[in-house]
Amino acid sequence: MNALLSLLTVGLLAAPLAHAQDDPRSKAVMDRLVAKNKGYTSFEADFSSRLVNKAGKLDVKQEGTVKVKGKKFHLVLDKNTVISDGVTLWTYNKEANEVSLNAAAEMDQELDPSKLFTMYETGFKSQFVSEAPDAAGVVVQTLKLFPTDPTKRPYHTVVLVVDKAKVEPRSVQVLYKDGNEVTYALKRFVPNVDLADGLFVFDKAKHPGVEVNDLR
């Protein structure tokens, strides 16, 4: 779960672009992404995550889904489910049948799953790397993003791969200072979907015998 929540920075209604842009070509790509993202009021996505640490011989792969509506989100990753209605944050472990409650405001904004594929919108300078068809024949544009204040970030580089035609991220790779590399690959993305508010509240009735830990 921590690997996912470390990337997780996609606010589709983010403030205007505020990163320092050094590369005009990458700026053009970023501006298109941000402009399109501002038209989304909700979305759902399926993605895969992979955490690699070569020195530690670590290679962990997981599949996830996320549904987002404004500041509300419903994230499922392996046996863990994280839900927020913007006020309360529920973290449910299926294996233990246990849920922890926290105040949503206490969550580090860099760990917010509702920002999964738009962490790049503020606080970065960017560099255009390449434009070419990928293995599936889709023309993608690859950018490298660097924090404008690296002392405040646990990572030093983000590699963003964008579908040129759809103007959507295909993958986000985060390179951490501790040697961890976390890659999120977007498998399905549907914007402006109709999501019921009940999806963003943990329903105890659906989990008989669940142990509740209220940490608020």
CATH of the domain at 128: 2.50.20.10
3-state secondary structure at position 94: coil
pTM of the predicted structure, to 2 decimals: 0.79
For residue 31, is it within any domain?
A: yes
**3-state SS class at 150:** helix
pLDDT reading at 5 higher than 90: no
| Residue 28 in domain | yes
Contacts of 199 (CB under 8 A, 6+ apart): 67, 69, 74
Confirm whether 72 is domain-assigned: yes
Q: Does residue 54 surpass a pLDDT of 70?
A: yes
Pairwise CA distance, residues 120 & 124, whole Å:
7
Residue 51, pLDDT score: 92
Beta bridge pairs of residue 75: 66, 82
Kindly state the average pLDDT of the residues 196-216.
94
Task: Give residue-wise pLDDT tens across range 134-177.
Answer: 998 999 999 998 988 889 888 899 899 999 999 988 998 989 99
Compute the chain's Rg from CA coordinates. Answer: 17
Quick one: pLDDT band at residue 112, thresholds 50, 70, 90? low
Task: Decide: 14 and 39 in contact? Cβ < 8 Å.
Answer: no
pLDDT band at 22 (very low <50, low <70, confident <90, very high): low
What pLDDT shows up at residue 15?
Answer: 27
Predicted local distance difference test score (pLDDT) of residue 111: 58
The number of folded domains in the chain is: 1
- Can you tell me the mean pLDDT for 56-66? 91
DSSP category for residue 33 = H
68-72, 115-119, 147-151: which range is least confident on average?
A: 115-119
212 within some domain:
no
Residue 210 included in any domain: no
Residue 18, domain extent: 2-192
Note whether residue 203 is domain-resident: no
Asked if residue 202 is part of any domain, the answer here is no
For residue 198, is it within any domain? no
